[in-house]
Structure 1
């Protein structure tokens, strides 16, 4: 090989290397985004799209803005339709004018994604955006909750030609309609922002001086309204609410500065739009309707939101930096790989260039080492990001679970406040003693709510690190004994052996009396709650070299192993139906003990009692002997248990079974219904099922959240058992979500009412269900031998019953006892079942069946009257003739001859 050949060869090598290093893959997909407007919210949307595209280099995004000009956007749509694009993302400036143009693109086969807004057509591929109706409704509910359903509102609307404006207005209007004392004094459509507000708002405030709330469709409008109101010295008396809650300019910052009182988070959906576009173009599954969630931003949570957003921005910048670095490394890697392939081929063919290829190979190996190190660093950073994201996700889940549980805990006391209150309001006459009992019930449950709120506030202070010990030296012995003594009257009423055991007369100790009082009172209250009458509760106070130990022991129901392990977890549920206390007390007790540098533990075994042990450190070097008088705390202890009474009016033949694990609510329902019906009470599904089988009632009212077996399972059991399937069931529950209502309906419930419920409505539902069942009985009373006319749930039972009668038709000893035994029922259950379905008793039903069968047999002329009588189980043909004439007013012979 001569010099010229070598020079040409080297030129080709370097030319190929340059091409390998500089060549980049062209984007595979072209996406066009037609943006309707230009504002800060849209800038955030555009930024989210660009950040998301950093993970998809094969996609190219072009953003075209129309600056709120509808005609210009229509022209843009038509121009894009003539170009070669893979997908169109669009935010329509107005709904109706753009419908036809966008439909044309969609029909041509180009996928169309709407972001934030839609047109009037349903022809699109996907929609990403907030539920503007729900945002408007959430705003109305928020304002209603802040002002207790009272207030006068000015609504500043966006131009009503856009779908967000109309939906926000409709949702807000529907929410306000639910609050009778909340009123929209005027709604103003803002077409020219600052000018319109300057023109309209002072006039409206002057004409309606009672106005105390301004709701604007955007934060910009809300801030502008604030500035105008400030000029007329009205801003301080107004409550300003906006929508968008952007972390820049007008939005969260104004909430933080108290210019706005609240703002509804209006997510842009930029990242979600790109994610959906990627799924569509890559033929992956996607959702057509993607509704984004909102949240109310107030001064209480704005700092947290801004902090989280800032953290996300920092993480996003770091992710983008790593993506760019990965792209650079991939380019370097691709270039080095191509060079290696090319030089390896030359090394085999050309010995002359062997030395050059050797050095190149060494360089490649070194690059791979560097690249591997960099990849390891990137993977470590990725793992850290995933850990941070998981922590944030878990924190969000814990917060949502907390809100869900605390809402559930509020609903039963609220039911025992609202339902009796509504009952008092509806009364035309008042009985002093009865009214006093109802008011005492309301007061008791209001105090329970107050205690629950205090516990939540204490936990919030602990979580924020704002709670401190207010400790002093007290006598721990006398302090503990006084708390135990407060329970003596309750122990006496329940015949419980309550003892305080301590080997010394006094023990000076430094502690926070208020917090330790709450700990001991809470644990003792739980001990009484789970200890049966005739049991024992012993409180002992001991000390050793290192610590002081307070032990509260009982012989109550105890805990399983998993319950014991989770006893101090906030809102831990031993099973899906029962919570430990309120779900807050033990968690709060643990935090208070930890503030004292102590520990709290539990020893328990199912059905063998429970012991709580509080261990506090003993400060041996402290020589102070002076102790202060411990403060006295007011303990509201319920000393009387609600006694169940089953009142049965002598003249009523209608019976109810009511199942509810809250004794006070159970007694309240008993008091209301026992005036009209025979009422049987139960506190568990198991006890209720026994009473249902024993009494076969006309209707069942059951709570959903019951110990062990819940109301859904009980309803399903009632509807699947042929002995009880005819009985209507009404479910009461604190679970108000539609999923729970669907579950109750699937189980077979005839009615479903959420707590707190309206007592009058419940009474009407009971009355209507009983009347409907009575009308059905009357309807079928004349057709009892035709099961085809009976509803499907009872048809099989009647068919089986008639087959059984047919089986023993010629048996002269056929009796109700024999039939009930064959069906696996008691005689009473069979009587009640047949009567409930047909309005006839069992003997009448058998008689009617025999008459129907006799008529059929008389149609056969080959059989004589005696044969037919024996075939129907009659020992004497003459008795058959008498029986037949009593039922038909004709003898068998007369019937045959007609």
Structure 2
């Protein structure tokens, strides 16, 4: 019995093992969300899908009926998405509410086919359905072709549900043709909901009021049937020609109604069910499909109704034959599987002598099956992970755009606030000086208060634009004089930056109507951007030209960094800026500029070739601004000009340095010229100050080897982090304390600054006394380190306590130690072996140790001599030659000067 049981167990193993060897067939799930199944047309759609699906082994269809309930359909689609179906097919009840859940399916990576009705936008894989506009036109053309020339016809249109795309498009196509016929008039339109019950009462009321009409066009055959019943109740069935849509085959279908003279005609509206399944199969098999798949349609009337009915009869018979053949095939497959299993059992029993071999084969197949299962699970996990990563990346990009906006905006606010508070601090600390002594500070307060006001107004303008509350106040204006006033505001800035600023026009009398406040912001923003991105000795050209009989163009061209072609449209979006723009910006200026120009019915465009070129086109005359109230009063213009005449531009005086040679040198790396000037003015009494706008910061630091560096983070070419890191890594400048002075106050920026070697981190706006104390502390700490380096450098043995300065000094000492006995060993030799210049070596050693390199080499010689006197029996002359002195007498003199006694007495 045990043997028999063993035989049965082994036979079972062999059977299942051989089954595992059969290739697995992939299975695909297709989910279909049907709007409703209350009519034969949609039932025919479902049937066509089921039949077509049965033709493709391995494909399974799940149909969910929303029962004409939008919320129910949304819930059903979300269930299909959560079930991770392979393809989603949707027949929307209404376009707008269903759009978000279809976009959710697309974002989840599920291909989505929209059938019959469209959604808002085009975020779907494919659309299947007839051209509803063409259906409306076909119905109208049928009426036109069956009417006599110049015959006066009166029509009634019965539409479908107003919120569905088929109703809108059929009505659009029907009205488009009828409106072109002078002898036809649509006397009434009934808003149905696709069902018979929505037609009767309204149509009776209309027929009672208008009398006999010629044609009724209903958007489907069910509403057309209801219209015929109303006409019959009034004995008008022979007087009114009724046209429907759908053209279904069957006892109550449109084809039968045409044949029975109930309808004059019906427009064939194919369900598209089979076509939708074919597209789904192609998608899952990796084939390319078209985005829009428009089904052909035709008008069915007395002429072709018999032909169409015969065709549908043949198609229906063929469909039934296919279903029967499919059933027979399924039965044959089941029989084949049963016989195959019996054969496998017999083969298993006949080879029991090879138990061990089959057992091993079975194990191999079992492992393969498990491996395949794991591979499928891994693929699914990888797909889900990729989807999550994609969504996370999109979310990250969106968050970064908003974070960058607020970061840039905070930087924009903090810089003028720093200048204002520093200027006020300077004034408050010197209350007894005359106001004229603070002309620069008061000018800073005024200028940066205005800058803050512009930033705040920019935010308010953005809010007004978003809410649509802007109203233009057009005023007749001389365009050249208007731009000239703005141009003059920038002339001093152009002189200060050595920029060639030029304004030209062929006609100085061009008059246009515009809102002066809005366009002042537009042209001011254009020039501000040009100055922001144009380097010193660059060019900015403004050209006013008439581009047509009714147009005038204003071109702003600069020789700055330009704009990448792929960013031409992006820069006009809110919170966005060009990819090559490293300067802080709110990202609202160009957006507001475009909105203001478009409010004037104008246009703004951008191009880039050796700089950026913005072109603003405005219309002449009044007609394009007819919705606004015009003003011819020029008193406002005169007021602006008088206010402008009162303004004065302050040019800061050149600062001179008169300090002794021992004063510490500070290098300020800051691209804001006002802040650089203010810092220099405040620090000149105590330090020697050098300035850099960031473009030459590294080179300037190598050149002057300052004692302290003050560095901003947001700079034109390299960030403050990159500059600090590069200087700290370089042997020539690694010892220099670096103070980061920035508007970025977040912890991440602080940590990043410390990681790249910054010694201090001060956020704007800052107290100037804190900055001065930070400078004193940095220099004091450098002095303490200098004592440590000169007195305890040889006591540090653990490598983890070493920094770049310790490493530098140890290398320096090793080279000096190796060359001490060479009398001609000098500073040039040492610099060459260290790999830096003589001047940089001198400055570096002076900064770290506080003595010259020559004195340091001599000190090392004498220190070595001291050790030799204590530890060896060499005579004085031998020791002198051993440490590099050519003359024993000079050695004795130097030793006595350093240690206060002669070598001989020291040894005794």
Partner of 1:673: 683
SS of equivalent residue, structure 1 residue 691: helix
2:731 to 722, 739, 760: 722
Structure 1 704/827 Cα, relative in aligned 2: closer, same or farther at 3 Å?
same
* Distance in 2, Cα, partners of 1:841 & 1:387: 60
Partner of 1:539: 543
2:748 to 715, 739, 755: 739
2:762 to 753, 773, 796: 753
SS of equivalent residue, structure 1 residue 578: coil
TM-superposed deviation, 1:558:
4.2
1:836 to 838, 847, 871: 847
Q: Matches of residues 419-430 of structure 1 in structure 2 within 5 Å?
A: 419-426=422-429, 429-430=432-433
Partner of 1:313: none
TM-superposed deviation, 1:859:
5.0
Q: Matches of residues 165-204 of structure 1 in structure 2 within 5 Å?
A: none
Is the contact between residue 732 and residue 844 of structure 2 (CA under 8 Å) also seen in structure 1? yes
Residues 460-482 of structure 1: CA deviation (Å, up to 9, x unaligned): 11111111322354444544445
TM-superposed deviation, 1:650:
2.5
* Distance in 2, Cα, partners of 1:822 & 1:350: 90
* Distance in 2, Cα, partners of 1:783 & 1:510: 79
TM-superposed deviation, 1:564:
5.4
* Distance in 2, Cα, partners of 1:629 & 1:856: 94
Q: Does 1:449 align with 2:452?
A: yes
Is the contact between residue 513 and residue 622 of structure 2 (CA under 8 Å) also seen in structure 1? no
TM-score by length of 2: 0.51
Greater shift, 692-701 or 762-771, is seen at 692-701
TM-score by length of 1: 0.52
Partner of 1:809: 820
Is the contact between residue 561 and residue 611 of structure 2 (CA under 8 Å) also seen in structure 1? yes
Structure 1 398/786 Cα, relative in aligned 2: closer, same or farther at 3 Å?
closer
Partner of 2:582: 578
Residues 7-66 of structure 1: CA deviation (Å, up to 9, x unaligned): xxxxxxxxxxxxxxxxxxxxxxxxxxxxxxxxxxxxxxxxxxxxx999999xxxxxxxxx
Residues 463-521 of structure 1: CA deviation (Å, up to 9, x unaligned): 11111322354444544445445555665777765544333353343332322222122
Q: Matches of residues 609-620 of structure 1 in structure 2 within 5 Å?
A: 609-617=611-619
Q: Does 1:821 align with 2:836?
A: no
* Distance in 2, Cα, partners of 1:488 & 1:771: 45
Q: Does 1:659 align with 2:669?
A: yes
* Distance in 1, Cα, partners of 2:843 & 2:398: 55
Structure 1 490/577 Cα, relative in aligned 2: closer, same or farther at 3 Å?
closer
Q: Matches of residues 315-714 of structure 1 in structure 2 within 5 Å?
A: 399=402, 401-426=404-429, 429-484=432-487, 487=490, 498-529=501-532, 530=534, 532-533=536-537, 535=539, 537-545=541-549, 547-556=551-560, 558-561=562-565, 566-574=570-578, 578-579=582-583, 583-605=587-609, 608-617=610-619, 629=634, 631-632=636-637, 633=640, 639=649, 645=655, 647-650=657-660, 652-684=662-694, 686-714=695-723
Structure 1 482/735 Cα, relative in aligned 2: closer, same or farther at 3 Å?
closer
Count, aligned residues: 529
* Distance in 2, Cα, partners of 1:878 & 1:485: 77
Residues 165-189 of structure 1: CA deviation (Å, up to 9, x unaligned): xxxxxxxxxxxxxxxxxxxxxxxxx
SS of equivalent residue, structure 2 residue 739: strand
* Distance in 1, Cα, partners of 2:836 & 2:419: 39
Is the contact between residue 408 and residue 585 of structure 2 (CA under 8 Å) also seen in structure 1? no
Greater shift, 789-798 or 833-842, is seen at 789-798
TM-superposed deviation, 1:447:
0.9
Structure 1 874/717 Cα, relative in aligned 2: closer, same or farther at 3 Å?
same
2:896 to 882, 885, 890: 885
Residues 800-839 of structure 1: CA deviation (Å, up to 9, x unaligned): 1112212322222222233223323333332332232223
**Unaligned stretches of 5+ residues in structure 1:** 1-51, 58-338, 352-385
* Distance in 2, Cα, partners of 1:590 & 1:629: 26
* Distance in 1, Cα, partners of 2:831 & 2:818: 14
SS of equivalent residue, structure 1 residue 700: strand
* Distance in 1, Cα, partners of 2:752 & 2:500: 45
SS of equivalent residue, structure 2 residue 884: coil
Structure 1 895/343 Cα, relative in aligned 2: closer, same or farther at 3 Å?
farther
Structure 1 54/600 Cα, relative in aligned 2: closer, same or farther at 3 Å?
closer
* Distance in 1, Cα, partners of 2:424 & 2:550: 54
Greater shift, 516-525 or 753-762, is seen at 516-525
TM-superposed deviation, 1:527:
3.3
* Distance in 2, Cα, partners of 1:414 & 1:714: 25
Residues 268-295 of structure 1: CA deviation (Å, up to 9, x unaligned): xxxxxxxxxxxxxxxxxxxxxxxxxxxx
* Distance in 1, Cα, partners of 2:739 & 2:535: 32
Is the contact between residue 513 and residue 620 of structure 2 (CA under 8 Å) also seen in structure 1? no
Structure 1 885/482 Cα, relative in aligned 2: closer, same or farther at 3 Å?
closer
Structure 1 748/843 Cα, relative in aligned 2: closer, same or farther at 3 Å?
same
Structure 1 573/393 Cα, relative in aligned 2: closer, same or farther at 3 Å?
closer
* Distance in 2, Cα, partners of 1:522 & 1:680: 32
Structure 1 870/562 Cα, relative in aligned 2: closer, same or farther at 3 Å?
farther
* Distance in 2, Cα, partners of 1:803 & 1:389: 54
Is the contact between residue 474 and residue 628 of structure 1 (CA under 8 Å) also seen in structure 2? no
Is the contact between residue 778 and residue 838 of structure 1 (CA under 8 Å) also seen in structure 2? yes
TM-superposed deviation, 1:754:
1.2
* Distance in 1, Cα, partners of 2:821 & 2:405: 68
* Distance in 1, Cα, partners of 2:510 & 2:636: 16
**How large is the Cα RMSD of the aligned pairs?**
4.3
Is the contact between residue 571 and residue 579 of structure 1 (CA under 8 Å) also seen in structure 2? no
Residues 399-439 of structure 1: CA deviation (Å, up to 9, x unaligned): 55533432232111111122333444455754533344323
TM-superposed deviation, 1:776:
2.9
* Distance in 2, Cα, partners of 1:484 & 1:435: 28
Structure 1 571/827 Cα, relative in aligned 2: closer, same or farther at 3 Å?
farther
**Unaligned stretches of 5+ residues in structure 2:** 1-77, 84-326, 340-388
TM-superposed deviation, 1:765:
1.2
1:866 to 877, 884, 887: 877
Structure 1 667/387 Cα, relative in aligned 2: closer, same or farther at 3 Å?
closer
Is the contact between residue 741 and residue 752 of structure 1 (CA under 8 Å) also seen in structure 2? yes
Is the contact between residue 409 and residue 584 of structure 2 (CA under 8 Å) also seen in structure 1? no
Greater shift, 497-506 or 443-452, is seen at 497-506
Is the contact between residue 731 and residue 744 of structure 1 (CA under 8 Å) also seen in structure 2? yes
TM-superposed deviation, 1:785:
6.5
* Distance in 2, Cα, partners of 1:574 & 1:852: 62
- Larger Rg over CA atoms: 2
SS of equivalent residue, structure 2 residue 696: helix
* Distance in 2, Cα, partners of 1:417 & 1:721: 36
* Distance in 1, Cα, partners of 2:858 & 2:399: 68
TM-superposed deviation, 1:799:
1.1
TM-superposed deviation, 1:743:
0.1
Structure 1 623/867 Cα, relative in aligned 2: closer, same or farther at 3 Å?
closer
Greater shift, 733-742 or 520-529, is seen at 520-529
Is the contact between residue 493 and residue 640 of structure 1 (CA under 8 Å) also seen in structure 2? no
* Distance in 1, Cα, partners of 2:885 & 2:475: 95
Structure 1 666/388 Cα, relative in aligned 2: closer, same or farther at 3 Å?
closer
Is the contact between residue 490 and residue 640 of structure 1 (CA under 8 Å) also seen in structure 2? no
